[in-house]
Amino acid sequence: MADYLLSIMTFFPLLGILVLLFIPRDNGGLLKGFTLVVSLATFAISLPLAFDNVFTTSGGMHYREFYEWINIGNFFQMNYNLGVDGISLWLVMLTTFIVPITVLSTWNAVDKNIKGFMAMLLLLETGMLGAFISLDLFLFYIFWELMLIPMYFLIGIWGGKNRIYAAVKFFIYTAVGSLLMLVAIIFVYYYAVQSGAPMNGFGIQELYKLDLPYNAQFWLFLAFGFSFAIKVPMFPLHTWLPDAHTEAPTAGSVILAAVMLKMGTYGYVRFAMPLFPDALPTFIPYLAFLSVVGIIYGSLVAMMQDDIKKLVAYSSVAHLGFVMLGVFAMNLQGLAGGMIQMVNHGISTGALFLIVGFLYERRHTRLITEFGGVATKMPIFATIFMIITFSSIGLPGTNGFVGEFLALMGAFQSSLRWYAVFATSGVILAAVYMLWVYQRVMFGKVTNPENEKLKDLSAREIIIMLPLLLFVFWIGVAPNTFLSKMNPAMEQILVQMNDKKVAVVEVQQPVVANVLEIKSIVD
């Protein structure tokens, strides 16, 4: 079992789809129930990973699976090459954890074409899991693109009024980035082939050791980075996100926020940065700058939204800014902060989308002005919303704080100190927009008669939220559970980057000089 754990986990949902096809389409309950069982089973399959202590001691890849897949002699070779380490571990766990929750959340929300919806959810799960555990660039790319398709349908079929625009925009926007990455992937491969480096198909572990000239790294990082930056999304490549989030059904938004955005940040950590470490010092100031702009910009724009979901979407831009800042700090604390913040964002923002979903299911509107005084009608909901709000704000003791703090700490330790100062101001803005929306939705008197008949959360809805709340506090109070399994892998990847790197990141170059330098090198 352990030998094939990753494969079983990844393709179990796909298996579920096959069975799903034979369930009559009008038996909605059975379809949902079955999907829930499948996703829970996937979670159960993945659980041994979370409890495996091998991650605390060794930063390498575990649960390796390796099969030759495509071998065209001297043309190219791709392998079915899977593995998981401390960096991907928690993202994998987050994925398997969040999917059953989203399935539960659809219980009343989805009534048209349930079969298709469930199939898409499961397909999405396969795609996401596969992308996190692929160690072969080609395989990764396949899973990466595979995720697009179900998400496109989730938004397009079960989305809101403006869903078509949002779905197409989401699809094309992200595809543009990934297609450029494809060119870069192929380029790296043939560079390696022509330089005679030892290779194992598109296996990243071998490619990590590749000696690429700075010039090539520059462009390759740009291509990879662009693709991942769209997915993250980093300012100014973020505009697909508010549309996609607003129009997507709750389950789609949750998965999009909780897992798919992490693909971008994960991509930086796993691919863009360790593959092209020489180019990093050139880009880090700009990327960090964009992260900080994202934090402040996302917050300011979020503040003025009149649609709750859009607000949460823009807040994602801000949150991911912290992740990126931490990652670009290029030290253990920052990276840990970034990684933990990825999980946090998955939990908090996922929960926020669920919360918006609860409201939407009841009122079929998400306009803030339509609400007010909901707290009186839905006290349990108010409490949960409050906790999640503060988790999102990053109150100490909740998960959000640990991530933000570590990310900022890392940034302060690195050359990004000044960026970090501005990023820190994001904690103020986060409070502003979250509390303001909370006030306008929950507090005050019930002025809209529609809100009079709001019902508090049902048992099912509470059950959905409980695991999320558990992790809000767990990560906040005892993050070491998670950090201890990440640390070795992060250390390894940092050591690896620094060993390969020619320039030293710590030397902060003035921005102007940087531009000239790039030019001269490109020339």
Contacts to other proteins from residues 482-521, by CB under 8 A: 483-484, 487, 491
**What is d(CA 200, CA 68) in angstroms, rounded to the nearest whole number?**
10
**What is d(CA 179, CA 200) in angstroms, rounded to the nearest whole number?**
23
Specify the DSSP element, H or E, that contains 162: none
**What is d(CA 341, CA 461) in angstroms, rounded to the nearest whole number?**
25
Cβ distance 247 to 160 under 8 Å? yes
Residue with tokens 């529609």: 450
Q: How far is the CB of 262 from other proteins (least distance, A)?
A: 19
Residue 204's contacts (CB-CB under 8 Å, 6 or more residues apart) are 135, 136, 137, 270, 271, 274, 275
Closer Cβ to other proteins, 453 or 513, answer by number: 453
The count of residues interacting with other proteins (CB under 8 A) is 93
Q: How far is the CB of 277 from other proteins (least distance, A)?
A: 19
Near other proteins in 440-479, by CB under 8 A: 442-445, 477-479
Q: Does 60 bind other proteins (CB under 8 A)?
A: no
Choose which of 69, 208, 214, 474 interacts with other proteins (CB under 8 A): 69
Residue 144's contacts (CB-CB under 8 Å, 6 or more residues apart) are 127, 131, 178, 263
Tokens at residue 362, please?
Answer: 């009841």
Q: Which stretch binds other proteins (CB under 8 A): 8-16, 67-75, 93-101, 265-273?
A: 67-75
**What is d(CA 432, CA 302) in angstroms, rounded to the nearest whole number?**
10
- Residue 322-351 contact track with other proteins, rule CB under 8 A, x = bound: ----------xx--x---------------
Q: How far is the CB of 125 from other proteins (least distance, A)?
A: 16
Nearest alpha carbon to residue 102 among 472, 467, 475, 476: 467
**What is d(CA 279, CA 54) in angstroms, rounded to the nearest whole number?**
32
Rama region for 481: left / alpha / beta (φ>0; ψ in -120 to 50; rest): alpha
Q: Does 406 bind other proteins (CB under 8 A)?
A: yes
Near other proteins in 284-303, by CB under 8 A: 297, 300-301, 303
Whether residue 48 is preceded by a cis peptide bond, meaning omega within 30 degrees of 0, is no
Q: Does 7 bind other proteins (CB under 8 A)?
A: no
Q: How far is the CB of 44 from other proteins (least distance, A)?
A: 26
Residue 289's contacts (CB-CB under 8 Å, 6 or more residues apart) are 419
Q: Which stretch binds other proteins (CB under 8 A): 103-111, 260-268, 392-400, 459-467?
A: 392-400
Closer Cβ to other proteins, 36 or 420, answer by number: 420
- Residue 427-446 contact track with other proteins, rule CB under 8 A, x = bound: xx--xx--xx--x--xxxx-
Near other proteins in 245-274, by CB under 8 A: none
Nearest alpha carbon to residue 126 among 12, 255, 2, 267: 12
Given 3-state DSSP classes, what are the helix, strand and coil percentages for the chain, each rounded to the nearest 5?
75, 5, 20
Residue 74's contacts (CB-CB under 8 Å, 6 or more residues apart) are 193
Closer Cβ to other proteins, 37 or 304, answer by number: 304
Closer Cβ to other proteins, 100 or 127, answer by number: 127
Q: How far is the CB of 40 from other proteins (least distance, A)?
A: 26
Near other proteins in 172-231, by CB under 8 A: 172-173, 175-176, 179-180, 182-183, 186-187, 189-190, 193
Q: Which stretch binds other proteins (CB under 8 A): 2-10, 42-50, 426-434, 459-467?
A: 426-434
**DSSP state string for 338-349:** HHHHHHHHHHHH
Choose which of 368, 373, 469, 505 interacts with other proteins (CB under 8 A): 373
Q: Which long-range contacts (CB under 8 A, 24 or more apart) does 169-172 make?
A: 169/240, 169/243, 169/244, 170/240, 170/243, 170/244
Q: How far is the CB of 69 from other proteins (least distance, A)?
A: 7
Near other proteins in 139-168, by CB under 8 A: 141-142, 145-146, 148-149, 152-153, 156-157, 163-164, 167-168
Q: Which stretch binds other proteins (CB under 8 A): 8-16, 29-37, 82-90, 374-382?
A: 374-382
Q: How far is the CB of 2 from other proteins (least distance, A)?
A: 26
Closer Cβ to other proteins, 80 or 208, answer by number: 80
Closer Cβ to other proteins, 270 or 485, answer by number: 485
Q: Does 420 bind other proteins (CB under 8 A)?
A: yes
Closer Cβ to other proteins, 153 or 360, answer by number: 153
Spell 273-296 as b/e; 16+ CB within 10 A means b. bbbbbbbbbbbbbebbbbbbbbbb
Q: Does 28 bind other proteins (CB under 8 A)?
A: no
